[in-house]
Amino acid sequence: MAGMKSRERFLAAVNHREPDRVPQLIRLGKEAGKKLGEIYGATGPELEVRIGNDAIICQMGINSEMEMSIGDLEQGETYINEWGVKYERRLSFNYPVGHPLKSRNDLNEYRFPDPHDPKKIEKLTNIVRKYGNEFVIIADLSSTLFEAAAGHLRGMEQFLIDSYEDPVFAGSVLDGLADYYSVLGIRAIHEGADIIRIGDDIGSQHGMLIHPKLWRGLIRPRLFRMIQTFRQVNPKIILLYHSCGDFRPIIPDLLDIGVRAISSMQEVGSMNLSEIKREFGRHLAFKGGLDTQYLLPMGTPEDVREGVMRLVRTLGEGGGYIFMPSHLLYGDVPMDNIWAMFEALKDYGRYPLKESAPEAGVCRKDKSGIPLSTKGKLEAVAKMVENGEEQKVEQWTQRLLRQGIDAREILAHGLEKGMQRLAEQFGNGDVFLPEILMGNKAMRAGTAVLKVHLNGRMEQPKGIIVIGMVKNDLHDIGKNIVKIMFEIVGFKVMDLGANVPPEDFVSAVEQEKADILALSARMSTTVKEIKEVIELLKRKNIRERVKVMVGGAPITPGFALDVGADGFAPDGVSAAKKAWELMGVKSAIEVL
Ligand code: B12
């Protein structure tokens, strides 16, 4: 099987046979293309061949203009294309900013571009001529329906409203697109394309962007019609469907209507890749999967190696897998990680997979002995908390612990940092309550892992702490972090929750024989409640029996002093250190 040609290798994999190695189709964004282009001295398809791709994709759909250079546009410069869509140059993208179907009536006058136009097929013809013998040629007709209608022709919000308010109109826009792409697809097949790629981004991090029922009503029948048309021209034509994000609910539908391969296999939401391989792997081939959100830009080369190995082993058994990152490679991916990805695919992608190279080795260390880019890994965890990715936070926390990263580091610079950033965004109106709650859940999943880990190393309870939000204050996210920190460093914590009246604090201190009372206030309007609690402790003659710690964003060290508190701390980690100090433990600094 050694020395297979690219074409043979790719087709074997798509047809569920094990080739000599896992085929590759890595797509390059502008900056990554430029960097690699300089190294390899090539551009375009030639560069793709040089980096080892086994297929060439020819973008023919409406979204091809988003990334292809339309002349050399300046930042902010705009142009209107033949669809009537207005694009604006933003960073390295051309964003659709104006839509031709401003009102529903506009559809009556609207003329779709002519799919018979000879220019539409020129690029594909050249690619087939030059590369068709050796490589698989993919004619890419995306964005095909939903994304083309919503993102380009009508505007996302408008089209979503149309789908509910006026499904006949929404259907007519989609029919126009389906007709256009059917003709273009037929021409591509005649021209020699091996695979037709169709698709729209209909998935997000946590599920589908539109309800599967809506997709089944609006999109599925039109895709089916297109696929039937293509099959009439060439019964063997392979249909590859692409969506980013989580689109698992409609995978059975795709199989039903004749799709034979799917991408981009982002492992988010319900896209559990091993389950998907188990469930659909006999009939569907998969392309993509290597994470471009965290792993490639933020992981270490070792992480990337491990990621490639895991992916190839999860999706590659028995063929049916084409290696690719889950999106284009963008400029944020360090070159070291790109090389690590290439190398790892060589090492782990040979069939039979079980006999390819052993597990990735341990992390390389820099001079200070700290694993390379610990910062990047912690940042990745912070980002996951921000995204509310509970499962991922749990897995990564475990993983970082296994890699020898200190639990306290993970807590302070990963989990807590993510939560704090999320809260800031909430304050600015950039995210809303659901995101806050999901972030909170994700953080707790991580801290649960850390707690077990740290408790094992800590001494027995250092003391008892009563904690709560003062009266009228419901902001318990920060307090929960502090509580977890206290527990992690070995305190028994009695949490009274939020909106706690002064009397309840005082009686809990008495009943629990608390060593420390930790009072949290998050609003300028509730900080005065701290004073009330301390006054009541005094009136009950128990002030001297308990240390009082205060905290919360509006609290300053000066305020703490004024109200006669024993300690203040600005965040969870320093709150825990402070608590040890208040207990008279000299080595508090060594604990955290
Ligand atoms: C999330 C949030 C909410 C959520 C709370 C959910 C929850 N379960 O906590 C919801 C939506 C319910 C909410 C409601 C309200 N909110 Co609000 N909310 C926020 C927000 C965005 C984030 C707060 C947060 O969680 N921060 C993250 C945590 C990690 O930080 P932290 O609390 O500061 O905690 C850290 C430290 O302070 C310290 N710490 C905390 N406690 C303690 C205790 C001790 C002993 C120690 C040592 C240290 C310590 O360690 C923590 C960890 O690092 C802030 C905006 C902002 N800019 O922060 C507004 C904010 C706090 N909210 C505000 C307001 C006004 C309200 C509402 C009145 C709004 C309304 N109209 O409904 C209500 C009031 C509800 C109530 N009665 O409490 C204002 C308060 C303004 C002020 N005057 O101070 C803010 C600042 C927003 C703003 N734009 O001004 N809110």
Q: What are the tens digits of pLDDT across the range 252-296?
A: 999 999 999 999 999 888 999 999 999 999 999 999 999 988 888
- Average confidence (pLDDT) over 458-466: 73
Residues whose CB is less than 8 angstroms from the CB of residue 442 and which lie 6 or more positions away in sequence, other chains included: 384, 385, 387, 388, 389, 390, 392, 393, 418
Q: How much distance in Å is there from the Cα of 523 to the middle of ligand 1?
A: 6
Written as one string, the DSSP assignment of 550-590 is EESTT--HHHHHHTT-SEE-SSHHHHHHHHHHHTT-TTHHH
Give pLDDT, residue 590: 42
Handedness of CA 391, 395, 397, 400 (dihedral sign): negative
Checking if the pLDDT of 371 tops 70, the result is no
The CB of 523 under 6 Å from ligand 1? The reply is yes
Note the pLDDT tens digit of each residue in 204-242: 877 898 899 999 999 999 999 999 999 999 999 999 999
Bridging pattern class, strands 136-140 and 93-98: unpaired
Q: Is 450 in the same domain as 467?
A: no
pLDDT above 70 covers what percent of the chain? 92
The CB of 411 under 6 Å from ligand 1? The reply is no
The CB of 551 under 6 Å from ligand 1? The reply is yes
CATH code for the domain in which residue 542 is found: 3.40.50.280
Last residue of a domain, one of 457, 487, 512: 457
- Average confidence (pLDDT) over 517-533: 94
Q: How much distance in Å is there from the Cα of 299 to the middle of ligand 1?
A: 32
Last residue of a domain, one of 215, 234, 263: 263
Confidence bin at 25 (pLDDT 50/70/90): very high
Give pLDDT, residue 200: 94
Q: Is 300 in the same domain as 418?
A: no
Distances (CA, A) of 278 to 254, 267, 284, 414: 16, 15, 10, 33
Main-chain phi, psi angles of 192, to 5 degrees: 115, 15
Q: Is 63 in the same domain as 212?
A: yes
CATH code for the domain in which residue 405 is found: 1.10.1240.10
Confidence bin at 21 (pLDDT 50/70/90): very high
> What per-residue string of b and e applies to 81-117 under the rule 16 or more CB within 10 Å gives b?
bebbbbbbbeeeebebeebbbeebeeeeeeebeebee
Does residue 79 sit within a domain? no
213, burial (CB in 10 Å: exposed 0-12, middle 13-18, buried 19+): exposed
**Count of other CB atoms within 10 angstroms of residue 262:** 24
Give pLDDT, residue 357: 55
Confidence bin at 557 (pLDDT 50/70/90): very high
Q: Is 476 in the same domain as 341?
A: no
Q: Is 219 in the same domain as 322?
A: no
The CB of 468 under 6 Å from ligand 1? The reply is no
- Average confidence (pLDDT) over 100-111: 96
Does residue 83 sit within a domain? no
Do 328 and 296 contact (CB within 8 A), yes or no? Answer: no
The atom of ligand 1 lying closest to the CA of 518 is: 45
Checking if the pLDDT of 455 tops 70, the result is no
Q: How much distance in Å is there from the Cα of 454 to the middle of ligand 1?
A: 28
Checking if the pLDDT of 372 tops 50, the result is no
Higher-pLDDT residue of 368, 100: 100
The CB of 426 under 6 Å from ligand 1? The reply is yes
The CB of 474 under 6 Å from ligand 1? The reply is yes
Which of 129-138, 325-334, 438-447 reaches the highest mean pLDDT? 129-138
DSSP structure class, residue 353? G
Higher-pLDDT residue of 355, 394: 394
Note the pLDDT tens digit of each residue in 113-167: 999 999 999 999 999 999 999 999 999 999 999 999 999 999 988 998 899 999 9
The CB of 569 under 6 Å from ligand 1? The reply is yes
Does residue 450 sit within a domain? yes
Note the pLDDT tens digit of each residue in 172-205: 999 999 999 999 999 999 999 999 999 999 998 7
Q: How much distance in Å is there from the Cα of 439 to the middle of ligand 1?
A: 14
When the pLDDT of each residue in the chain is averaged and rounded to a whole number, the result is 88
The CB of 482 under 6 Å from ligand 1? The reply is yes
Give pLDDT, residue 193: 98
Checking if the pLDDT of 583 tops 60, the result is yes
In angstroms, the CA 272 to CA 283 distance is 17
Higher-pLDDT residue of 553, 373: 553
Give pLDDT, residue 525: 86
Q: Is 591 in the same domain as 490?
A: yes
Q: Which of 240, 209, 207 is nearest to 223 (CA)?
A: 240
Q: Is 472 in the same domain as 590?
A: yes
Give pLDDT, residue 370: 30
Domain count, the chain: 4
The CB of 574 under 6 Å from ligand 1? The reply is no
Residues whose CB is less than 8 angstroms from the CB of residue 434 and which lie 6 or more positions away in sequence, other chains included: none
**Count of other CB atoms within 10 angstroms of residue 445:** 20
Does residue 91 sit within a domain? no
> To test ligand 1's pocket by mutation, which of 386, 475, 563 has the most ligand atoms within 8 angstroms of CB?
475
Does residue 339 sit within a domain? yes
CA-nearest residue, atom 72 of ligand 1 = 474
The CB of 437 under 6 Å from ligand 1? The reply is no
CATH code for the domain in which residue 231 is found: 3.20.20.210
Q: Is 104 in the same domain as 244?
A: yes
Handedness of CA 108, 113, 117, 121 (dihedral sign): negative
CA-nearest residue, atom 75 of ligand 1 = 474
Does residue 93 sit within a domain? no
Indicate the SS3 state at residue 415.
helix
Last residue of a domain, one of 457, 476, 492: 457
Higher-pLDDT residue of 101, 90: 101
Checking if the pLDDT of 365 tops 80, the result is no
Q: Is 336 in the same domain as 367?
A: no
Angle of helix 119-131 relative to helix 167-191, nearest 10 degrees, comes to: 40
Checking if the pLDDT of 373 tops 80, the result is no
Q: How much distance in Å is there from the Cα of 522 to the middle of ligand 1?
A: 5
Q: Which of 589, 520, 523, 592 is nearest to 560 (CA)?
A: 520
DSSP structure class, residue 362? P
CA-nearest residue, atom 81 of ligand 1 = 523
Q: Is 246 in the same domain as 312?
A: no
Do 270 and 248 contact (CB within 8 A), yes or no? Answer: yes
Does residue 73 sit within a domain? no
The CB of 550 under 6 Å from ligand 1? The reply is yes
Give pLDDT, residue 308: 95
The CB of 575 under 6 Å from ligand 1? The reply is yes
Confidence bin at 520 (pLDDT 50/70/90): very high
pLDDT above 90 covers what percent of the chain? 60
The atom of ligand 1 lying closest to the CA of 519 is: 45
The CA-to-CA distance between both ends of the chain, in Å, stands at 56
Give pLDDT, residue 424: 78
Confidence bin at 91 (pLDDT 50/70/90): low
Give pLDDT, residue 186: 98
Q: Is 333 in the same domain as 377?
A: no
Does residue 413 sit within a domain? yes
Q: How much distance in Å is there from the Cα of 398 to the middle of ligand 1?
A: 29
The atom of ligand 1 lying closest to the CA of 568 is: 47
CA-nearest residue, atom 22 of ligand 1 = 423
pTM above the 0.75 mark? no
The CB of 522 under 6 Å from ligand 1? The reply is yes
- Average confidence (pLDDT) over 455-477: 79
Rg (CA), the chain: 29
Checking if the pLDDT of 359 tops 60, the result is no
The CB of 571 under 6 Å from ligand 1? The reply is yes
Verify cis geometry, omega within 30 degrees of 0, for the bond prior to 221.
Answer: no
Note the pLDDT tens digit of each residue in 403-437: 888 888 898 889 888 888 887 787 677 877 778 77
- Average confidence (pLDDT) over 34-63: 93
The CB of 79 under 6 Å from ligand 1? The reply is no
Instruction: Find the domain containing 590 and state its range.
Output: 459-592
Q: Is 104 in the same domain as 247?
A: yes
The CB of 423 under 6 Å from ligand 1? The reply is yes
